[in-house]
Structure formats: C-alpha cells, structure tokens
Amino acid sequence: MDEISADSFNIRDYLRLELFPHFLCPGCGHGIALRALLWAIHELGIDKNDLAIVSGIGCSGRTGAYIDANTFHVTHGRPLAFATGLALARPDLEVVVITGDGDCLAIGGNHLIHACRRNLNLTCMMLNNEVYGMTGGQASPTTSATRYTTTTQSGSIEPVFDACALAAAAGAGFVGREVTIQTPALKNLLRDAIAHKGFSFVEVLSDCTEIFGRKNDLGESPEMIMTQKSTMRPASYGVVGGNIVDEPFRATNLKTGILTRTDRPEYGAAYRAHAAGIRAARKS
Amino acid sequence: MNISSGEPQAPRAVKASSARPMTGNEAFARGAWEAGVKVGAAYPGTPSTEIMENLATYPASDLTAQWSTNEKVACDVAIGASFAGVRALTAMKHVGLNVASDALMSMTYIGANGGFVLIVCDDPGIHSSQNEQDSRYYSRLAMVPTLEPSDAQEALDYTKLAFDLSERFESPIMVRGTTRLCHTRSLVRVGERREDAPKGFVENPDRNVMMPSNARASHPRLLERERNFEEFLNDSNLIRWEPGDTKVGVISLSTPYTYVKEVIPEASVLKLGCSYPLPSQIIRDFAASVERLFVVEELEPLVENEVRAMGLTIDGKKFFPRVGELSPELVREGFVAAGVLEPEDEQPGFDVTDTPRPPVMCAGCPHISSYLSLRALDARVMGDIGCYTLAAVHPLRSIDTCVAMGSSIGNAIGLAKAGGERRPIVATIGDSTMLHSGIPALIDAVYNDVDITVILLDNQITAMTGGQNHAATGKTLRGDRVHRIDFVDLIKAIGVKWVRRVDSYDLSAMLKTFREATEYQGVAVVISDRPCVLDPVKIRGERMEVDAASCVACQACMNLGCPAIMWSDEWYDGHHKVRIDPDGCIGCSLCAQVCPTNSILAISN
Amino acid sequence: MENFEIRFGGSGGQGLQLSARLLADALIREGRKVARSQSYEPTSRGGLSRADLVVAAKRIDYPLITALDVLVLLDQLPVAVSMPLLRPGALVIADARRAGEIPEGDHDLHLLPLSESALALGNERATNIVALGVLAGLGEVCEHDTLETVIRDGVPPRFLDLNLRAFAKGVELGEAGGPGR
Amino acid sequence: MDMAQKVSAETAPGTTPGATPDTTNVLIVGVGGQGVIMVSRVMARIGQLQGFDVKQSEVHGMAKRGGVVFSHVRFGPTVWSPTIPRGKADILLALEWAEGLRWLNYLKKGSGTFIADTRHIVPPFACLDRTRGAKLGYLAEPPGVVLDQVADGYALDATALASALGNHRVSNTVLLGTLSVVIGFAPEIWQKAIAEMVPPRTVEVNLKAFEAGRRWAAAARENPESAREHTLRKPAVLPELEARDFELRITPEWCKGCDICVKMCPERCLSLNALNIVELTEPDRCTGCRICEWLCPDFAIDVIKTLPETASR
Amino acid sequence: MPSQSTARDLQGNQACALGAVAAGCRFYAGYPITPSSEIAETMSVEMPRAGGVFVQMEDEIASLGAVLGASMGGAKAMTATSGPGFSLKQEHIGYGAGAEIPCVIVNVMRGGPSTGLPTRPSQGDIMQSRWGTHGDHSVIVLAPASVPEIFSETIRAFALSERLRLPVIVLYDEVIGHLVETVEIPAPGTVEVADRKWATGAAESFQPYAVTDDLVPPMARPGDGYRTHTTGLTHLESGFPTQEPECVERITRRISGKLVHHRELIESYEAAGCEDAEIVVCAIGISARAARRAVNAARAQGIKAGLFRPITLWPFPESAFKSATASARTIIVAELNAGQLVLEIERLCGGARQVESIARVDGEPIEPAEIEAKIRELSSHG
C-alpha cells in the first residue's frame, strides 16, 4: 500500500511565469515534453539552482527560456558543444540539453556523435517533430519519406536518421525514445536518463501540428500524438534490448522506452581521475 | 380434454430410468426430429438458438438444418419445404418473428402441405433482448394455432403433435417457448423418429399464389379452421382439467403452470396446452365449477381478456404482474394479495452486501477499439443488436441509439437526412447483423446519397448468441465449408466507393481510418477486422502485465472496460494502480496502447 | 663571435633540433640571447630539416636568419638552399660522407668524418653530437665546458656515455681542424 | 377461506410450503467460465440416478464470460417449478465468494447449507468509481461473518486445493466433493456422474479434485473450528485514504485551444468554449486523473489536490 | 616552490599555453590544426596538472562552443586555432560578444585563403579577427611579436576578457608561434589573476545585463541562485530577448561602449624612435621584428626612422599611433598579406601622410632588408 503521490510537483515552481503564455503553437508537443522534463527534475530532487539547461536554435531551443534555472540558449546545432564545456567545467551542475531534430541531427550531428562517444555526463533531450518549425517548415533529417514540407513540395525522398540507433551506435551510454502522449513514461525515461552517469540521449516524438501536421493531413494535435504512440512499440521498461509488444497484433516500427543502457566510463569522472593521477605522480 | 384425478400429480409419469435430462430447446429439436422433420432453418437468437443447433446434431441423412440469413428467410425456407410436402421447422426468438411475420401472414392463408411448425421463444424478463413482446398476439394476428408447453417433456410432445396438427388442419402451427422453458433441463421420455414419404409439391395456384383474388377466398378458410381447431381441443390432451378445491380455480399455461402447482397445489387447475384458439366451452365449464377464477399467464393478459370477453368473471393481471418473468414467489404473492393464501412470516434476510456484476465485453474484444475511437471522434453513433450494444454503457459510453436488428444504418440515414447534426454520423453494425438486414439499408444509403459512415464490426461470427456461423464465416451450421462472402466485394458491389479494412487491435489506425471515413463525403464503410476472442478460434497474444513501479494510477486503461484489468492494492496519488488478470488477458495490447506510462508490457520472458 | 647566426642542416631524424637546442642552451648559459627557429614542414623524417639560431649579446630584433655565420651540414639535402645564405667567410662544417659535395665559395669549409666517427662509436645517430663537439673544438661558437654541461643535463642517461664519447670525438676532430680551405 | 388456512397450516419450519416436502433445492452460483453449469448438470444427474424427478434451470445472460451465472437444481419425487423460490434453497453452492453472498437470501434461513469457494473474482465494474480514494466495489464480507449466520457453512479455498492438483479450473469439482459429503449418496454415484460430464482427458484430475473436496469436508466436520481457521482467506481489507479534495485550475490566458485535453479526457469533462478556451463543463465527472494536466502543452491546466486540514501530512 | 622567476626556452605556442595557465585558465578545448597544435598539446599536459580540463573536441566550432560553455559555468577558458578553424569559430565569437561571455581565442596565422599554406606564416587574418563574425560586435585582438610577449599578452588577454566580459583574440603568425626564445616565467602565484565581476545581492532583483558605471555587468555563476537566461538573441537587461528598437540600440551601444570606456586598459603598443621620425614603420608580429632591425639599420645610416607596433591590434591604438606619427611624413606598413593593416593606417592618416605598403604574399616572412630598402627609398636622404 505504498502511497506515491504526484502532489508535490507543481510545475509552476519550475517556470518563469512572467514569460507566459509561451510562444509555442497550439498543440505543440514541445510543451508536453517540457513538463515531463521538469517533472523528472522534480522527482530527482535536483535544485533548480544547480540545473543548467543548454538549448540550441529552433522551436525546441526556445523552450529552455521558460525554465526557471540557469538557461543557456546558444547557437544553432551547438548546444552539445556548449554543454560539454559547461559540464566539464562544472561537474556539480546537472546539465540538460534541449535540442531539435534539425539542430541535433543536421547542423549538430557531428557534436551528437562525439558527445555520444565521449560519454560525458549530459542529458540530451531531442524534440523530434520531423520539421524545421521555426523557419517555416522545411524538411529535416527526420522528415519521413513522402512527407510534404516547404522544401519537399512534392514529398520527401531522402532517407531519415533513426536518431536513437545513431546515438547508440556512436556509443551513448543511455538511449531512449518516447512519445509525448505518454507523459509519465517520458518523465520516467528522462528521469532515468538524467540519473544515468554518462551521456544520455532521449528522443521525444513531438508533434508540429500547425506547420507539419496540417500540410501532411496528419490530423489535429490529439490525433497526432495518439498516432505517434501507436506507431511506437514499447521496449520493456528497464530492460536493455527488452522484448516488445507487437506480435501478433501490432504492425509498428520504432521502439520506445529505454533502448540502450550500458555503464561505460563517464568521461568527466574518468578525466578527473586521470588528472588527479597525473598530479599525484608529479608530487611524489 | 383430459380430466385428471383429484390428486395433485406430476404432469408426466416419467421414470427417471427411462428418461434423459433435456433442456426445452433440446426437447424442441428432439420433437421435430421424432416428427420426421426434413428441413429446419433459423437465424440465431437467444433463447431460441440451441433449437437449430440441436437439430443439427441429428444425422444429415435425416434432415437439413441450416442457419439462414435472417428469420424471414428462414421462415420462407421452411415454407418452401412445406410446399414440397415435407415437414419443416423454423425457430426464432420473439423479435425474430417480427422479421418473419411478413411471410407468416401469407403462409397462414396458404396453409401447410408438409407439416410446418414455427417455434417462437419469448423472453419475459428480457434476459437478452431489446423488448418483452408477447408473441401470442401474432397467434391471433396470423390466426395460427399456438401450443404452449410447460416443460421439456411437453416441448417434445407438443412439437411432435404440432406437425400432425399442421398437416391435419393444413395450417402452420406455432409452438411458444420462453427463456425459462428453453433453458431448463428436465427429464424427458424420448421416442423414435417417424419417416413419412414426401408428399411432393401440390400444384394448386388458387391456394399457393397469394394474389388478391385468391387471398380473398382464403380468408374465410382461416375462420373455419379456427372453429375446427377449437373443436379439436375439446377432445385433446392439450387441455387438462385438474380438479381440486373448488373455492379457487386457476387457468394457467406454459411455465407459470408449474409455479401454480408449486404454490397452490390444492387449487382446481385448468392447464391450457394451447393458447390460441381457446377452448371456450371447457373454460366456461371450469369457471362454473369454482368459486373464484384466476388466470396465471406471463406477460400480456391475452387469455384473461378472452375469458372476460366470454362474460366470465376472472382475475389475472390484477394480482400477477404484466411485466417480467413470473416465479413461484410472484405467483404466491399474487394469491396472497388476492386473499387466497396467507402471507408467509417475514423472515429476516441474511446481512450481506451485494457486489454488482453487470455484463461486460470480453477481455480483448475487438469491438472495444472501435468504440474508443468513435468516442475520441465525438461521433453520433447509431448502434445495433449484438455484443457491442454494451458500448452504450460505462466505460465506453459511445452508442447513442439501438433499435432493432439491422436498424443502425437506416437510423443513420434518417439522422443525416434530417440535417442539423454537427457530429459525424456513424452506424455500427456487426457482421451477422449486416447480412441479416443491414445490406438493404446500406443500399438505401448509397441510393439516396447520404453522408454517413458505417463501421462494420466484423468479428467473423454471430457472437452474442454464442458463436454461430453465417454466410461470411464460410461455414454452415453443420460446420461444412462453403463460399465465404467477401464484405469488401459485397459493399463495393453495392456502390460504396470508400471501403477500408482496419486492424481492430491498432488503435491509431482505427482512429485515423475512422476520421478519414467520417471526413469522406458520402457513404464510407470501415471494416473492423479481428475475430471474436471466444469463437471460432481462440487467439492469444503475449499476455500483458502492469509494471506497478511506473503505473501512475491514471486508470486510462480502465476506459477499455476490459474485464481483465482491475485495481491492484497499490496506490498512487490517491488512486488505485491497476493490475491485469493473467488468466483473462488475451494479449490484444489495447491497454498498452492507451497507457500513458508504458507501464503495460507483455509477459514475454 | 658575439652576434651570429648558425644553421644545423640535414635530413629529418638526424637530431638537428637537439643539437640546436643544446647549443642554444649552452649559449644562454653563457649569457647570450637566442632565437631558435626550425624548418616546419609536413615531413618529419627523411626530408629537408634545419634548425636555426640567431644569437645576440643583447636583444634580438629579427629572430630569423638572414646571413649565416656558421653552417653545419649533416646531409646533402640542405646544401643548395643554405649556401646562398652564407656570410662571406662563414664557417661550414660538413659530414664528409653524407654532405661531401660542397660548392666552392668564400667560406671556411671543414669536411669531417662526422657520421663515420659516430658509426665507429656504435651509433650513427650520435652524428649530431659529434658535430657539436666539432663546434666546441673549433672554439669559435661556444665554450667546450658549457656544451659538455648541457649535454650532461640534456640527454637521457642511458645515451649519456655515447653522447659524451661522441662529443669528445667531435672536439678532437674540431681541434684537429680537418681539411679546411 | 379453508384452503388458505390449510395451506398456511402446512407452513412449518424445515419444510417447503406448498411444495412437495421432500424436494431438494440446490442453487449453484458463480461467475461465467467457472463451470457452474457442469456442476449443476452433475447434481441433476445425481438426482436422476437416485430415481428422482429433476429440474435444472439456468439463464444465459448477455455476458458470455465474467457475468453472473446461476443454476437451479431441484430433485425429488415430483418437481414442479424449475426455479427455487427465494429462501427455499437447501444448499447454496458458490464457486465464487461474492456470488455466494449475492444469492445467500435464497438459502433457507434456519436449515440451509452454504458451501463456497473463498476465491474472489473482482468484476471490472467494481473498479468503476475512479474518483479519488474510491473504494473497490467488491465489498464481500469475510467468511466468518457469513458462516456465523448460516445453519451449516463451509468456506474453503477450493481454487487453492485445485491448483495443488495442477489445474485451478477443477475447483468446481472440489466443491462437488464437499457437497457430496453434505448431501450423502454413495461416492461412486458422484464419480460416475462426474466422469460422464467432464471432458474425457480431465476425468482423472476431476476425480482427484472430488476426493480432495470430500477429504476437506470430512476434516471440517470433525473439527469445524480448525477448518474455519485453516481455510478462511484473509478478508479483503481496503486501505482507507484520507478523503482529499482536488480542483481543476484552468489558466485561460495560457490556453491556446489545441483540443488535446478535450479529446484525451477519459471522462469527457472538458470542452472548448466559444473563444476556443478550455472549460470544465462536467465537473462532477472529473476524477482528477491528471491526464489533461500532463498533456496540456500550454501548462494551462493544473490539478490541485489538497489534504483536509485535519490531516497530519 | 621557487619564488624566483625562471628563464625558459620556449616555443611561442608553448609560451601561449603557459601564459594561459598563469592567467588562471582552467579549461581548454581545441581541435588540431597546423600551426597552432602545440598549444593544444601543451595544454593537454598543463590542464590536468593545474586542476583544469583539457578536451579535444570534434571540430573548431565545438571547441569554442565548449569554451563558451565552460566560461558560462565560471571557468577561464581558451581555445586555439589557425585560419580555417578560425573561420569556423566566427559564429561563436559573435555569440561570446553578444552574450558577453569571457573567453580567449588564439589564432596562429597561416597562409590562406582556404587550406592555403598550412606551414607558412601569414598575417592575413588581421581584418577577419576584427570583422569576422556577422553584425556589430566588440572583440579585442592582441598581437604579440615575440615569445615572451605571447606569454604576457596571453595573460593580458585573460585579464581583459574577464574584466570586460568579451572574447579576446590573441593573434600571431606561424613564425612567432614556432620561434623558440627565452621567456622569464614568473614564479607561480605572482601573476595577478584577473577575475570577472560576479553577481552579488538579491537574486530577485538581479539583472544579468544591467547598465553599470563601467558598462560591464556582473555575471551570475550557475549554482549561485541567480538562474539567469543567456541567449544569443538580442536581449534586455533581464537577459530575455527583445526586438524593441529603443532597447536594441541601448544594449548594442552599451556593448560597443565597453571598448571605448576601457580604452586605456585595453590599448598597448610599442613606439620606438618615433619622436623625431620622418618615416614610421608600422607592423605586427614577425613583420614588426623585421621592421625593428630595418629601423635600427636605417637609424645607423642616419635616417630618422621609427617603429610603431600595435600590441593591441584591435581596437587599434589610434591616439598612440597619431602621437607616434606626429612628426612622420611617411608611414610604411609591412605585413604578410595583400594589404589589410594598411587600410586602417590609411583611414587613420586620412590622406595627411604618405602611406606605403609592403605586402608580402609568397608565404615567406618579410626580411629586414626589404623594409630597410623601402625606408631608404622613401627617406629624404634617398
């Protein structure tokens, strides 16, 4: 009869209320993801004074400003680079990167793979809405084939990244994917991602109703977020490479939940230990 | 008439050793078989379904037993067999007779060649129906002699007798059952089958072709037949006078007769084995023999009114309810109210609480996702007859109307034609129901160019009545493989331009397809495509379990109404977390699809 | 020589930079200012290599060589590019075996068996130290003792003996003068 | 009214008024899928094998599985009504605990025998109330409370006994074993009837189950108290939560009218008003489940939950 | 611990790294590129020893990104690169300028454009170092001409960067970078380590970009409770973006005003023999070294020649230049490019003086003789 309660989480404690209402379009999944992130922060008991949010450019990047923490809205594609410096210089801070599919995978793709490889204690939340929303709806590295955007007016023909597979292949210690409609699951995933010592990559399937959904006849926000969920299949929570719910009933494609969790040496700690060894050797 | 001795007696002299326990429905079938029936046709309907199912257990060399598309077709099939000079049976539930009545109304004019018996089963108490109509009104409407057995032995005997009477009076004969009779098992003495040589078709256009001139000539014959039949009853065992205390005389029939015998065994009883026509002279004599006259009959006061019309003084519905099923308790209460019996001492009841256990959809029922989606679409939903009618209540609460078999599409057409409805108009109809009477309505929808969506809930079986085959299952009543109707082809042939199949276990595909269908201007048909979890093949996916650690007790999964999902003893935020009964779960994964925490996972390892 | 410019020229891997560094170190110990520069090319082994020192008593204005006072050649490769930089009368020390073809000119050429001496000592790689010894033996660039000190301080202990013997051999060659002009 | 007098005079304790006194009424109840019909057919067959007239009545409800299932079995020299009047059952055999309680008032108050499996099958509707701190709708009294009220009572964990035999589904036959001890008749007759009624490949386990039920009943008769102690399942005690209040607070200036909350609300409590701003239009239905709060991208909905002032927390 | 300074033979790039360590730099992020790599190599050794962090990033963009990130976290941070990498860093230099993040960027110049001459010296980034990133922005560029000066100017770069909250670029050519000269290394702890002004007082009323007397707002250190917002968007005193013209102008003017306000602190130069000079040679880096010898040679020949060497290249020490060239008739600008510094000199002279350019673009340093010849050619004696 364990009574767990969500009572203590009041999102307003984590928001810069004077900036509201926020600038996101109606039904934008980024807002839901933001809630999940702050909820996870709350559950982990992270003091917002010790929380650093580094975000890139785009709709995703703008969300950081609404968080009442140390927020850094940096250059396009580079939040992981900034965060790397910040986290190495300030291991006492909890550094979370908010980025988008274009920010993270296109212009910032190089930083992503190296951040994964380096395995520094960072959490990267990539809000994937399949489109460059802020610039008016151009195709991104995750825009599915046949989708219409302002730069794929006859339907996209480019293959897409599976960002999670990319991150895992690049060596990220923790990789997960979740949809916004599963807010508590997303919260749990982010919570585990932040708690994970090492580089954590979380892809959030967000929806861009106004610019992308309309153009592709994907329905309004409620339907979009529901569709996202149903095209996913959950990996067994907490089990690495766990089984998935689909046979014999579901035709699905991407997995959700924790996809990879390995304990590789965390770069920051490894570096500090290495440096301490060097200093000790010099003294003796 | 049979006048019994003054002693209270069992309605039979059945020796247990020589008898076998049978339900009323089994006995109906046995009676028909013993009578040498050659052709049986029916459409399933509780409580009549098992009659044809049992008939089909007799050798195929003896008889044909089949499911027909609907009750009217079944009735026509039987009529055709009668034309051919063989004995024919059709069976249906009370509302099925509404469908078949059109044929019956003419058949009664034509009369039987081979014996023609129609068993109709009423449902007093509405255990599984949409109304409580009393079929005995049809007896009078169609002027069809109607026998009323009171137990399984009589069900057998009367059915057998009905065939003889049918041929003797050249009339269809109706045998009426009730839910209680149909589903009560009692000891039955059985006999052998008689085999008659087929009489063959009798060419007699004046009688067989119901056109106005012939029909006009036939009507007087009906009146004559009514008189003849009443005369027959005077010498028949169907009417039994059981003398007793002359202070109280009770006329009763069907199962209520057994309640009377149970509750007031001392009374004089006139047991009617036939409710139409009534033996008026015997009734007068009986009335004269007793001080107070009662009639105990279920549902409408048909006998009561006719007795009263004879100028006799009689009490019936004044003391015995007109609504619902009778019982020994109610019969006793009636006689207490009439001052015949003394009230029993009021015994204090046991002090315990009641746990409600209303009917629910099965775990993994493929209908669930359709209604969840319709609810999300905020559609105006015209329902139909089937298990899915349960979607009208908590938690799905997504059916707005349910009228009668096959009505949904017509209702939707009317709703659309009336204008003013801002929500998408949807008709939901099962596969069997669609074939039963949905097709003409669908043709109507196409013909009249209406903007509606039809969700064909194709669970590939007639589920509600216990899993009967139909024309789109590709199997007959006896299990033989036959052509399977392809719904998509059929619907396209009707002229529906927008037809799509969708996996009932893919919620978002459902939602998306439904949305597209409702946005389509014109008739759109979506076929929800998963078999019933009970029949004919039991499907099992990986069973699901709840990860209690991550469950946040939102209970979103409870919206499915899945009986395998219930509260656990753990709490979150003031709400119960949930758990899944592993024995109940079939692994449809719908709950996992609605779970906002990814807490519902397959037990796969 | 108070202010002078010197080049060690050869091919990559001959230890020219070490020679230059040791010499610079020694000169600094003697109170002079030194600017050291080197060829900076993608190739590190086998290609043209040079190490230049600009030495001055006081501040060095321009740190690159403009006119060489001393040129040490351990290979033929730098010969062509370095000869035009020679100041008239410059001292040129060349390995007789590997840099034997020195054009005629206004310079003081000492063609010496530098690498052969190193080979005789057991390791050709000590040729650079032999060359340093020659500079010490000739006595015009740097004091013998200072150089020996920086060698003792600046080379790994396990090579010290070899290097000291190479240095001594070089001094011997330098003092002997060798075939000059 | 002589007759009425006469009838009333026959109303004596221990007899069925108006009915043939030696009719035995057995009411068998349970939940769909448990095998109520099988048990009742065995019982009817036993009656027949004893040379009695028998009636066995059941009604198929709408629910094929998980619904209420009951079957009346009556046997004796002559049986009229197929149904057992309320308060006239000699034996109430319940395959599920709450079902036993539902039909308890059909049992003869002073003389009836109550046999029940203590197994709980919680119906989904018992979980219908999703309001905060709602109690499970399954509120069956513990066995002690019931056994104290009946003349003769047996509460056993037949499902556990059956599971011990390797097939929890034969719990109904375990109960038949117990019933056989109560009713009498030779065990061989029971075994014959059971063997006739169950699927051929389950005959063996069913006969074992029957024996297990008999053994349990014999032991219970010998030592009723210990049997009671032994078999009584822990009563389903439900945790009492402090009744907390909650409020749905909408910040209209933040709402952008995306419709997510309206569509995703399980209870359909919300709607968009003429200005496309969300409103709580069905406050009574709201359960405080927070789904709207979670899914609002604009943070325009907060579910505020408050403890009563008296609460310590 | 030695309390005396020690003389060390150092390569320019090494001196740069050691200067950074002495200045308190505790974070270095870089990407290998010729001819700056020795800085990274040295930092990879020095940072762990000093308790700092060295990280080799995936590219130059990431390097400066990491440096900015570390600086936002409160660390003194540096990166070093050369031409192509410097081009990549331009966006982040703009970010540092706009968001006012202290950082030091070293550019060891090589021949260009593009991959150009990786191992050959150049001074072709004079203009890029000032104008490289888009939009109006304020940076300081320091141009040391010797190894000891690299050491000291790197220290000064940190001091300026920290005090004024802006990126400071240390700019020198490949020759200086690879030159080995003797540097007096001050005893540890004797170099004054400048630190930025940290936020104090109530968090509620704190304005991260408030207009202060010295135009440099105090910076909030993450974790100290201020929870400020930092953005590359043009922002208000509160840190949050604005497009209000009045506010945009106010903010932009304050940032550029920092350089004017602190001109004396920033400006540094060498003027040798300029008091009576008819001809002043103006140059930086290796060109200035050649110029010095040429000027000395000219003086020896009786030509009134002087040297003006801006050590703070940007903002250009205008007034010092003007006073140094008060008597000059001719200014010779010697540089290893097609003529960049000369543009600034021409602008400053405004046509009042003869401005001559020695612009060498063959990948070789300018030799003293080349300048000396020019001086002679232009002298009144010639």
Q: Please report, for chain D, the start and end positions of each structural domain, with discontinuous segments joined by +.
A: 23-231, 245-306
Query: Considering chain B, what is the average pLDDT of its residues?
Result: 91
Q: Which domain does E343 fall in, by range?
A: 268-378
Please list the alpha-helical segments (H only) found in B184-243.
205-208, 212-234
Interface of D with A in 182-241 (CB under 8 A): 239, 241
User: Which residue type occupies B224?
Assistant: E
ipTM of the complex: 0.80
Among B15-19, B272-276, B443-447, B461-465, where is mean pLDDT lowest?
B15-19
- At C68-102, the pLDDT tens digits run 999 999 999 899 999 999 999 999 999 999 998 89
Say whether pLDDT at C132 is over 90. yes
Question: B487-546 pLDDT, tens per residue?
Answer: 999 999 999 999 999 988 888 778 878 988 999 999 999 999 988 888 655 666 778 899
Query: Mind listing the pLDDT tens digit for each residue in B559-597?
Result: 898 989 988 888 887 788 999 988 888 888 888 888 888
What pLDDT was estimated at residue D311?
Answer: 41
Residue B264 lies in a domain: yes
Q: Which of A250, A253, A255 to mutate to test the interface with B (most CBs of B within 10 A)?
A: A250
pLDDT, tens digit, 9 for 90 and up, residues A84-121: 999 999 999 999 999 999 999 999 999 999 999 999 99
Instruction: Please name the residue of chain A whose CA is at the shortest distance from the CA of residue D239.
Output: A1
Distance CA B183, CA B23 (A): 5
Confidence of residue B602 (pLDDT cuts 50, 70, 90): confident
Residue B535 within a domain: no
pLDDT of residue D235: 40
- Regarding whether E307 and E172 lie in a shared domain, the answer is no
Angle between helices A109-118 and A79-89 (to 10 degrees): 30
Whether A48 maps to a domain, the answer reads yes
Angstrom distance (rounded) from CA D107 to CA D116: 13
Are B218 and B167 part of one and the same domain?
Answer: yes
Report yes or no on B394 lying in a domain.
yes
CB contact under 8 A, A247 and B376: no
Query: Which tops the pLDDT comparison, B436 or E188?
Result: B436
Q: Which of A230, A231, A247, A256 to mutate to test the interface with B (most CBs of B within 10 A)?
A: A230
User: Is E321 among the domain residues?
Assistant: yes
| Residue B7 contacts D where some CB pair is shorter than 8 Å | no
Question: Is the minimum CB–CB distance between A85 and chain E shorter than 8 Å?
Answer: yes
Alpha-carbon distances of E252 from A100, D93, E100, E103, E217, rounded to whole Å = 29, 89, 11, 19, 14
Assess D221–B contact: CB distance below 8 Å, yes or no.
Answer: no
User: Which chain A residues contact residue E48 at CB under 8 A?
Assistant: 271, 274-275, 278-279
d(CA B266, CA E327): 148
Helices (H), chain D: 2-10, 36-49, 97-102, 143-147, 158-164, 171-183, 187-197, 203-222, 224-231, 260-264, 291-295
State yes or no: chains D and B have 3 or more CB pairs below 8 A. yes
Q: Which residues of B76-101 are buried (b: 16+ CB within 10 A; e: fewer)?
A: bbbbebbbbbbbbbbbbbbbbbbbbb
Residue B551 and residue B586 share a domain? yes
Question: Scanning the structure block, which residue is given the tokens 């396009």?
Answer: A76
C39: in domain: yes
- Contact call for residues D171 and D95 (beta carbons, < 8 A): yes
CATH of the domain at C127: 3.40.920.10
Does residue E181 sit at the C interface (CB-CB below 8 Å)?
yes
More confident residue, D183 or B76: B76
Query: Is A6 part of a structural domain of the chain?
Result: no
Residue B579: which H helix or E strand, with range?
strand B575-580
- Statement to judge: residues B170 and B314 lie in one domain: no
Q: Please report the pLDDT score of residue B1 as a whole number.
A: 65
pLDDT in tens, D176-216: 999 999 888 899 999 999 999 999 999 999 999 999 999 99
From chain D, pick out residues whose CB is under 8 angstroms from the CB of B378: 263
Same domain, B482 and B399: yes
Q: Do A236 and B505 touch (CB under 8 A)?
A: no
- CA–CA distance from D115 to each of D75, D139, D150, D177, E162 (Å)? 19, 19, 10, 11, 87
Q: pLDDT band for position E141 (50/70/90)?
A: very high
Burial of A7 (0-12, 13-18, 19+ CB in 10 A): middle
Residue B193 in any domain: the answer is yes
Q: Can chain E be said to touch chain D, i.e. do they have 3 or more Cβ pairs within 8 angstroms?
A: no
CB proximity B291 to D under 8 Å: no
Distance from CA of B108 to the nearest CA of A (A): 52
Q: What is the per-residue pLDDT for D9?
A: 31
Strand B267-272 and strand B239-242: the pairing is antiparallel
Nearest Cα residue in chain D from B386: D62
pLDDT attached to residue D5: 30
Count of CB atoms within 10 A of residue B578's CB? 24
- The predicted pLDDT at position D256 comes to 95
Lowest pLDDT segment from B184-198, D135-149, E40-54, E368-382:
D135-149
Q: What is the CA radius of gyration of chain A?
A: 19
Is B539 among the domain residues? no
Q: Does D214 touch chain B (CB under 8 A)?
A: no
What is the tens place of the pLDDT at every residue in B471-485?
999 999 999 999 999
Q: Which SS3 state, helix, strand or coil, does residue B328 take?
A: helix
Across residues B82-101, what is the average pLDDT? Answer: 97
Whether residue A235 is predicted with pLDDT greater than 60 in this model: the reply is no
Residues in chain D within 8 Å Cβ distance of B46: 60
Domain hosting A109: range is 22-283
> Which CATH number covers residue B417?
3.40.50.970
Chain A contact for D249, CB < 8 A?
no
Overall domain count for chain C: 1
Residue ending a domain, among E166, E185, E204, is E185
| D 95-114 → B contacts, CB under 8 A | 98-99, 101-102, 104-105, 107, 109
CB atoms within 10 A of CB A175: 29
- Asked if the structure places residue C145 within a domain, the reply is yes
Q: Find residue A98's DSSP bridge partners.
A: A55, A125
The verdict on residue A148 lying in a domain is yes
Q: Which of E175, E182, E369 lies closest to C33 in CB terms?
A: E182
pLDDT band for A155, please (50, 70, 90 cuts): confident
Nearest CA in chain B to D52: B16
Which positions in chain C touch E296 (Cβ < 8 Å)? 61
Q: Which domain holds residue B428?
A: 367-529
Q: Number of folded domains in chain E?
A: 2
DSSP label at residue E35: T
User: What pLDDT band is residue B106 in, cutting at 50, 70 and 90?
Assistant: very high
Contact between E175 and C63 using a beta-carbon 8 Å cutoff = yes
What CATH fold (topology level) applies to the domain D23-231? Answer: Pyruvate-ferredoxin Oxidoreductase; domain 3 (3.40.920)
DSSP structure class, residue B87: -
Give the span between the Cα atoms of A74 and A56, in whole angstroms.
5
* Confidence tier at B549 by pLDDT (50, 70, 90): confident
Predicted confidence (pLDDT) per residue in A85-94, tens digit: 999 999 999 9
Model confidence at A16, pLDDT cuts 50, 70, 90, reads: very high
Tell me the per-residue pLDDT of D228-269, one tens digit each, with 9 for 90 and over: 654 444 444 444 555 557 789 999 999 999 999 998 888 888
Distances (CA, A) of C102 to B475, C39, C109, C110: 109, 21, 8, 10
Chain-chain contact of E289 with C63 (C-beta, under 8 angstroms): yes
Q: What is the mean pLDDT of residues E355-364?
A: 96
Residue E116, pLDDT score:
92
Return d(Cα B229, Cα B209) in angstroms, integer. Answer: 24
Q: What is the pLDDT of residues E30-62, one digit of tens each?
A: 999 999 999 999 999 999 999 999 999 999 999
The domain that holds B297 is classified in CATH as 3.40.50.920
User: Is residue E217 assigned to a domain?
Assistant: no
**Average pLDDT over chain E, rounded to an integer:** 95
| C181 located within any domain | no
Domains held by chain B: number: 4
Rounded to a whole number, what is the distance in Å from the CA of E101 to chain A's nearest CA?
11
pLDDT higher than 80, residue D102: yes
Do residues A127 and A60 lie in contact, with contact meaning Cβ atoms separated by under 8 Å? yes
Domain at D245-306, CATH from 3.30.390.30, 3.30.70.20, 3.90.1150.10, 3.30.1360.120:
3.30.70.20
Q: Are E240 and A65 in contact (CB under 8 A)?
A: yes
DSSP per position, B409-464: HHHHHHHHHH----SPEEEEEEHHHIIIIIHHHHHHHHHTT---EEEEEE-SSBTT
The pLDDT, as a whole number, for residue D237 is: 41
Q: Considering B233, B263, B290, which residue would you say is the last residue of a domain?
A: B233
Name the band, by pLDDT with cuts 50, 70 and 90, for residue A24. very high
Domain boundary among E160, E185, E210: E185
Residues of B within 8 A of A178 (CB-CB) are 598
What is the domain-level CATH number for residue A149? 3.40.50.970
> CATH number for the domain including E350?
3.40.50.920
Scanning chain A, the segments in alpha helix (DSSP H) are 29-44, 59-62, 79-89, 101, 109-118, 163-170, 183-195, 221-230, 267-283
Average pLDDT over residues B368-383: 91
State the Cα–Cα distance between residues E22 and A70, nearest whole angstrom: 29
